[in-house]
Structure 1
Amino acid sequence: MAAPQEKASAKKAGKNAYKDTLNLPRTAFAMKANLVQSEPQSVKRWAKLGVYRQLRARAAEAKAAGDPLPAYVAHDGPPYANGDIHLGHLLNKVLKDLVVRSRSMEGFDCPYTPGWDCHGLPIEHRVMQELGPGGRELEPLKIRRKCAAYAGKHVKTQRQQMERLLTLADYENPYLTMDSRYEAGVLEVFAGMLEAGLVYRDLKPVHWSVDNQTALAEAELEYHDREDTSVYVRFAMNNSGSEGLLIWTTTPWTLPANLAVAVHPRMEYGLYEIAGNDPTWIAVALAPAVAAKREVGLPGPLKVVKGEALVGRTYAHPFVGREGRVVPAEYVTDEDGTGLVHTAPGHGAEDYQTGLREGLDVYCPVLPDGTYDDTVPDWLRGKSIWEANQEIVERLERDGVLFFDERFTHSYPHDWRGKQPVIFRATEQWFCAVDKPATGPLAGKTLRQAGLDAVGKDTSFQPAWGQNRLRGMIESRPDWCLSRQRSWGLPIPAFFDAQGRPLLTAASVRAVAEVIGDRGSDAWFFLPAADLLARYDPAADPDAPAWAGDDALASLVKGGDTFDVWFESGSSWHAVLREGWREAQAEPASGEAFPADLYLEGSDQHRGWFQHSLLPALAVTGRPPFEGVLTHGFMVDRDGRKMSKSLGNALEVATLMQQHGADVCRWWVASLNTDNDVKVDEAFFKTAGEAYRKVRNTLRFLLSNLDGFRMRGGRVKFEAADATSLDAWLTGELVTLSVSVRRAYRENRYRRAQELLFGFCNETLSGVYLSAVKDRLYCDEADGRRRRRTQTTLYRVTTVLVRLLGPILPHTADEAWAALHPDDDEACVHLCRFADVAKIAETPVSEAWPAVMEARKRWMLALEQHRERAKACGGADAPLDLGLVLPAAELPEGFDPVELADLCGVSRVEVGEAEEVAVVDLSRQPRCERSWKRDGTVKPRPDNGLLSDRDWRVVSSLHASG
Structure 2
Amino acid sequence: AAARTLWGPSCPPRRLGWRGTTGRLLVRSVTGASNRLPNPNSGKYRDTVLLPQTSFPMKLLGRQQPDTELEIQQKCGFSELYSWQRERKVKTEFCLHDGPPYANGDAHVGHALNKILKDIANRYHMMKGSKIHFVPGWDCHGLPIEIKVLSELGEKAQSLSAVEIREKARSFAKAAAEKQKSAFTRWGIMADWDNCYYTFDKKYEANQLRIFYEMYEKGLVYRAYKPVFWSPSSRTALAEAELEYNPEHISRSVYVKFPVSRPSPVLAPLLDGSSTVSVLVWTTQPWTIPANQAVCYMLDAKYAVVKCANSGDVYILAADKVTSVASALETKFEVISTFLGADLENGTCTHPIFPDKVSPLLPASHVTVAKGTGLVHTAPAHGMEDYSVASQHSLSMDCLVNEDGIFTDGAGPELQNKAVLEEGTDVVIKMLQAAKNLLKEEKLVHSYPYDWRTKKPVVIRASKQWFVNIADIKPTAKELLKKVKFIPGSALNAMVEMMDRRPYWCISRQRAWGVPIPVFLHKTKDEVLINSQTIEHIIKLVEQHGSDIWWTLPTEQLLPKEVFSQVGGPDALEYVPGQDILDIWFDSGTSWSHVLPGTDQRADLYLEGKDQLGGWFQSSLLTSVAARKKAPYKTVMVHGFTLGEKGEKMSKSLGNAVNPDVVVNGGQDESKEPPYGADVLRWWVAESNVLTEVTIGPSALNAARDDINKLRNTLRFLLGNLSGFNPETDSIPTKDMYVLDQYMLHLLQGFANKITESYKQYDFGKVVRLLQAFYTRELSNFYFSVVKDRLYCESEDDPKRRSCQTALVEILDVIVRSFAPILPHLAEEVFQHIPYAKEPRSVFRTGWINTSSIWKKPGLEEAVESACAMRDSFLGSIPGKNAAEYQVVIVIEPGLLFEIMEMLQTQETSSTSQLNELMMASQTTLLSQEPRERTADATELTGTFLINLEGGDIREESSYKVIVMPATKEKCPRCWKYTAESSDALCPRCAEVAGGK
TM more than 0.5: yes
Q: Indicate the percent of aligned positions where both proteins have the same amino acid.
A: 35
**TM-score normalized by the length of structure 1:** 0.89
1:482-561 map, 5 Å = 482-498=507-523, 499-534=525-560, 556-561=575-580
Query: Quick check: 1:21 aligned with 2:25?
Result: no
Distance 2:633 2:240 in 1: 22
Once residues 836 and 402 of structure 2 are traced to their aligned partners in structure 1, the CA distance between those partners, rounded to angstroms, is 72
TM-aligned CA deviation for residue 500 of structure 1: 4.3
Q: Is the 8 A contact 1:248 1:342 kept in 2?
A: yes
Q: What is the match of residue 207 of structure 2? A: 185
Q: Secondary structure at the match of 2:618?
A: helix
CA shift in 2, pair 1:776/1:392, >3 Å: same
> Helix, strand or coil for the counterpart of 1:911?
strand
Pair 1:231 & 2:254 matched = yes
Give the drift of 1:132.
0.6
Report what 2:305 is aligned to: 271
Partner of 2:952: none
C-alpha distance after superposition, 1:162-221 (max 9, x if no partner)? 112111111122111111121112112212212322010011011111001011111111
Q: 1:85 to 1:283 in 2, by over 3 A?
A: same
| Residue equivalent to 1:467 | 492
- The reply on whether 1:881 has 2:885 as its aligned counterpart is yes
Give the partner amino acid of 1:571.
Answer: T
Counterpart of 1:701 in structure 2 is: 717
Q: Alpha-carbon deviations, 1:471-526, whole Å to 9, x = none?
A: 11122212111111111111111112333421123553333122111111112211
The correspondence for 1:307, drawn from 292, 316, 341, is 341
CA deviation after TM superposition for structure 1 residue 16, in Å: 3.0
> 2:242–2:451: 8 Å Cα contact kept in structure 1?
yes
1:732 and 1:841 in contact (8 A); partners too: no
Aligned partner (choices 720, 728, 736) of residue 750 of structure 2:
736
Give deviations 1:137-169, integer Å, cap 9, x for gaps.
Answer: 200111111111111111111111111211111
Q: Which residue matches 2:399?
A: 364
Q: Secondary structure at the match of 2:167?
A: helix
Contact 2:38-2:46 at 8 Å conserved across structures: no
- 2-structure distance, mates of 1:902, 1:529: 90
State the match for 1:37 in structure 2. 67
Alignment-derived partner of residue 592 in structure 2: 573
* Normalised TM-score (structure 2): 0.86
Contact 1:483 1:562 in 2 (8 A): yes
1:309-388 equivalences in 2 (<5 Å) = 309-320=343-354, 321-386=356-421, 387-388=423-424
* Cα distance in 2 between the residues matched to 1:718 and 1:190: 64
Residue-by-residue CA offset, 1:230-258 (whole Å, 9 max, x unaligned): 10100111134421111110001111111
Establish whether residue 480 from structure 1 lines up as the match of residue 484 from structure 2: no
Correspondence list, 1:73-472, <5 A: 73-224=95-246, 225-240=248-263, 241-274=275-308, 275-300=310-335, 302-320=336-354, 321-386=356-421, 387-435=423-471, 446-456=472-482, 458-472=483-497
SS in 2 for 1:365: coil
**Residue in 2 aligned with 1:51?**
81
Which residue is equivalent to 1:580?
none
Distance in 2 (CA, whole Å) between partners of 1:356 and 1:861 is 85
Moved more, 771-780 or 645-654: 645-654
State the SS of the aligned residue for 2:633. Answer: coil
- Is the CA contact (8 Å cut-off) linking 2:95 and 2:133 kept in structure 1? yes
Determine the C-alpha separation between the residues in 2 that align with 1:492 and 1:755.
Answer: 51
Q: Say if 1:509 and 1:906 are closer, same or farther in 2 by CA, change over 3 A.
A: farther
* In 2: Cα distance, 1:500 partner to 1:886 partner: 100
Question: How big is each residue's C-alpha offset from its partner over 1:719-766, in whole Å with a ceiling of 9 and x where there is no partner?
Answer: 2x53x6211011011111111101111111111111111111111111
User: Closer, same or farther in 2 for the Cα pair 1:121/1:553, shift >3 Å?
Assistant: farther
CA displacement, residues 317-358 of structure 1 (integer Å, 9 cap, x when unaligned)? 111242111111011001110011111111111111111111
- C-alpha change, 1:696 and 1:510, in structure 2 (3 Å) is farther
Would the aligned equivalents of 1:374 and 1:382 in 2 still touch at CA under 8 Å? yes
Query: For the Cα contact (< 8 Å) 1:636–1:679, is it kept in 2?
Result: yes
Among candidates 638, 655, 678, match of residue 631 of structure 1:
638
- Code of the residue aligned with 2:962 in structure 1: it is A
Query: What is the aligned partner in structure 1 of residue 904 from structure 2?
Result: 895
Q: Is the 8 A contact 1:103 1:110 kept in 2?
A: yes
Structure 1 position 28, deviation (Å): 2.7
Q: Report matched runs for 1:694-773 at 5 Å.
A: 694-719=710-735, 721-722=736-737, 725-773=739-787
Where 1:183 maps in the other structure, the secondary structure is: helix
Q: How many angstroms does 1:788 deviate by?
A: 1.3
Q: Hey, what's the Cα distance between the residues in 2 that align with 1:558 and 1:516?
A: 15
- Any conservation in 2 of the 1:273–1:279 contact (CA below 8 Å)? yes
Of residues 845, 849, 871, the one that matches 2:861 is 849
Amino acid corresponding to residue 143 of structure 2 in structure 1: L
- 1:909 match: 924
Residue 73 of structure 1: CA displacement? 0.9
Q: Deviations over 1:391-447 (max 9, x none)?
A: 222222233211111101001111111000011011111111012xxxxxxxxxx20
Query: Partners of 2:996 and 2:860 in 1: how far apart?
Result: 36
Deviations 1:780-819 (A, max 9, x none): 1111111112111111111222111110111000111121
The one-letter code sitting in structure 1 at the alignment partner of 2:187 is L
Q: Distance in 2 between matches of 1:777 and 1:644?
A: 54
CA 905–183 in structure 1, closer or farther in 2 if over 3 Å, else same: farther
Alignment partners' CA distance in 1, 2:409 and 2:41: 102
Contact 1:862-1:918 at 8 Å conserved across structures: yes
RMSD: 2.4
Kept after mapping to 2: 8 A contact 1:244/1:280 = yes
SS at match of 2:193: coil
1:863 corresponds in structure 2 to: 875
Give the direction of change, closer, same or farther, for the CA distance of 1:909–1:697 in structure 2 (3 Å limit): same
Trace 1:2-21 onto structure 2 (pairs within 5 A): 15-21=42-48
Measured at CA, do residues 27 and 374 of structure 1 come closer, stay the same or move farther in structure 2, by a change above 3 Å? same
Q: 1:359 to 1:854 in 2, by over 3 A?
A: farther
Amino acid at match of 1:765: L
In the aligned structure 1, how far is the partner of 2:610 from the partner of 2:860?
48
Give the one of 924, 944, 952 matched to 2:991. 952
Q: Distance in 2 between matches of 1:10 and 1:745?
A: 39
Matching residue's letter, 1:748? Y
Unaligned runs of at least 5 residues, structure 1: 1-6, 63-67, 436-445, 540-545, 578-586, 869-876
2:862 and 2:240 map into 1 onto residues whose CA distance is: 58
Return 859-868 or 224-233, whichever deviates more.
859-868
CA distance in 2, matches of 1:255, 1:806: 64
1:831 — aligned with what? 845
* Alpha-carbon shift at residue 939 of structure 1 (Å): 3.6
Aligned length in residues: 896
**Worse-superposed segment, 422-431 or 186-195:** 186-195
Indicate if the aligned counterparts of 1:193 and 1:619 stay in contact, CA closer than 8 A.
Answer: yes
